[in-house]
Structure 1
Amino acid sequence: MRKRFSSYSVPPWVKELRVTAVQFIIPLTIFQGVRTLIFPTAFDVILLAALIFLALSFHMEWL
């Protein structure tokens, strides 16, 4: 059986790290999207997909 983590059991520094990551992920994703449109490489597309997944997971509170 999988153990579910409560948000109350997370140390304060992890909460602070999450808040900081949420502030930086959207501008970084926008910058990477523009960069991918200008210089499309396989690495840029994969990185953009990973950043979009992270932004959505923070928004939907999956992470």
Structure 2
Amino acid sequence: MRRRFTTHSLQPWLKQVRLVAVQVVLPITIFHGIRTIFFPTTFDVLLLGILILIACAVHLDWF
């Protein structure tokens, strides 16, 4: 049988990485969104989409 994944079963260093990601991802997403408005390239748009998905995942506790 497979064990269920919970955030309580994470190792301490992985919990720390998750907490840092929560604090860092939103400002980076906002900065990159502003940068993409002024200098839109294909790579920037794709990276902004990935950052938005990560920000949503962190906010909705998918990650």
Q: Normalising by the residue count of structure 1, what TM-score does the alignment of the two structures yield? A: 0.92
Matches of 1:54 and 1:7 in 2, distance apart? 17
The one-letter amino acid paired with 1:20 is: V
Matches of 2:2 and 2:48 in 1, distance apart? 31
1:11 corresponding residue in structure 2: 11
State the superposition RMSD in angstroms: 1.4
Deviation at 1:4, TM superposition (A): 2.6
1:27 pairs with 2:31: no
Number of aligned residues: 63
Q: Which deviates further from its counterpart, 41-50 or 3-12?
A: 3-12
1:51 pairs with 2:59: no
Q: Normalising by the residue count of structure 2, what TM-score does the alignment of the two structures yield? A: 0.92
**Structure 1 spans left out of the alignment, 5+ residues:** none
**Structure 2 spans left out of the alignment, 5+ residues:** none
Percent identity reads: 51
Q: Look up the SS of the partner of 2:32 in the other structure.
A: helix
Matches of 1:54 and 1:46 in 2, distance apart? 12
